[in-house]
Chain A
Amino acid sequence: MKKLIIISLLFLLTIGVNSCTKSDSSNAANANTGVGGSLARFTIVGNYLYIADVSSLSVYNIIDPSNTSFVRSVYIGRDIETIFPNGNLLFIGSQTGMFIYSLDVPTDPVLKGQALHLRSCDPVVAKDSFAFVTLKSGAACGTATDGLYTYNIKDITQPELINTLEIPTPAGLGYRDTTLFVCCENNGLAVINIKDEKHPVVKKMITANTFYDVIVLDNVLVCMVKDGIDLYDIEDVNKIELLKNIKY
């Protein structure tokens, strides 16, 4: 009996410690599966690899890596560019919109909702009931106004645009807790407070480099920049510090 109590206490303690130290980030990694930036076309969820090519979403079974096998492919639409997993949902960014697929049955992604917009380039990240999309116009992308578009996805079948924040040339993005990091190419890195998801506020613009994409690794922000990879300490968002510039 005593043993059982100790085990239970240890168990509760483990849960407690985990919930205290683990931050909520766009790149929820575990020890066995890595994390990509927001511009990826490959992602692994559980025992399946999902690949977004220009028009389709393909599912591969990777339970036994050396017997990786094709499961199915579903047609999504035109000009697909990015794939982002969140829980049992896949967010697919294309030049014409965001598509949300449910992975309730991992081998059979089902389109649940979509939000169409003007032509642009647009990676997506999702946090709880909100999806953040950056739209960038330009010759290669389209005509939408540059900015951060926030959708309420509480009802994933009806994503609702609730905020548009104009920021210049936004590209890859990621979040940690209530801070969203948006790469703005040669305009810098926008540090945005999303405590109130309906009203994102730009807190700071880091203009030390040209930023393309980010990965949030707990308290380290990995940035793909023009001349290399920059690593920033983001433990305290009011005191973001450059730890290392790994030069090309």
Chain B
Amino acid sequence: MRSIFLSITIVMLLSGCIKLWNHHPPEYVDSKVWGSKPIYSNDSTLKEVRIDTPHVVKNAGKIYAYQHYLLQCEVGEGFHIIDNTDPKKASRIKFLKLLGANEISIKNNYLYTNSYSDLIVIDLNNIDSPHIVKRVGSAFAAHGFLPEPPERGYYECIDLTKGVVTGWAKDSIYYGCYKN
């Protein structure tokens, strides 16, 4: 009897009826898992743009070239500005802080980006005092424009009604989003 049970189990394992592992994240997880949790803030000054001294790159995003500058997104936090006048000496010179940013396009010193799902236009004519000249709320579907945690794995999906995301913490979380 025991050997029949064992052979049935083996057959089921081989046939794939029972999966010991799964390469894809399951769509639903009923229990809590260890993952990343967004840290929210409702401080309205965080919605503004400002120039800062160069930052260390933690969660590198997309790259962009404009005149003698290179820009690289710090996912969800802003942009590293690199002076590329002489490529051999290229280095980060400033940081343009804008929470929720991960896209970039520039024309005539105006930078078009996103803060989460809002479209933001920043006047860069004076690089040391950038300011937002236009914000279009919920300009596009949030999916694909929301910041992800720095590490792969499960994370609690972002709920923008709770505020802007200022960071991530490791915690025991309910299922939700997954970063590959």
Contacts and interface: CB of A to CB of B under 8 A. Distances in A.
A34 B134 contact: no
Interface in B116-144: 119, 121, 123, 133-134, 136, 139-141, 143-144
Interface stretch (A35-43, A185-193, A197-205): A35-43
B67 interface: yes
B54 to A, nearest CB: 11
B63 A37 contact: yes
Interface in B141-166: 141, 143-145
Given A32-B108, A229-B72, A231-B84, A40 B139 contact: no
B121 A68 contact: yes
Contacts of A66: 121, 123, 133-134
B32 interface: no
Interface stretch (B1-9, B34-42, B86-94): B86-94
Given A31-B67, A65-B133, A215-B65, A49 B105 contact: yes
Interface string A45-58: 00001010111101
A40 B107 contact: no
Contact of B141 (A36, A49, A56, A248): A56
Given A60-B119, A66-B134, A67-B134, A44 B107 contact: yes
B141 A228 contact: no
B112 interface: yes
B104 interface: yes
B82 interface: yes
B82 A246 contact: yes
Contacts of A49: 105, 112
A40 B65 contact: no
Interface in A12-45: 27, 29, 31-37, 39-44
Given A229-B70, A231-B90, A42 B104 contact: yes
A217 B82 CA distance: 14
A243 B85 CA distance: 13
A43 B107 CA distance: 10
Contacts of A231: 84, 87-88, 90
B103 interface: yes
Interface in A209-233: 213, 215, 217, 220, 222, 224, 228-229, 231, 233
Contact of A246 (B58, B67, B92, B136): B92
Contacts of A37: 62-64
B14 interface: no
Contacts of A224: 60, 62-63, 72
A231 B140 CA distance: 33
27 contacts: A31-B67, A33-B106, A34-B65, A34-B66, A36-B62, A37-B63, A44-B106, A51-B103, A53-B141, A53-B143, A54-B141, A54-B143, A62-B107, A62-B112, A62-B121, A66-B121, A66-B123, A66-B134, A140-B180, A215-B63, A217-B65, A224-B62, A228-B57, A233-B87, A246-B90, A248-B58, A248-B60
The 10 closest A-B pairs by CB, nearest first: A34-B66, A248-B57, A140-B180, A53-B140, A66-B133, A65-B110, A42-B105, A34-B106, A53-B141, A54-B143
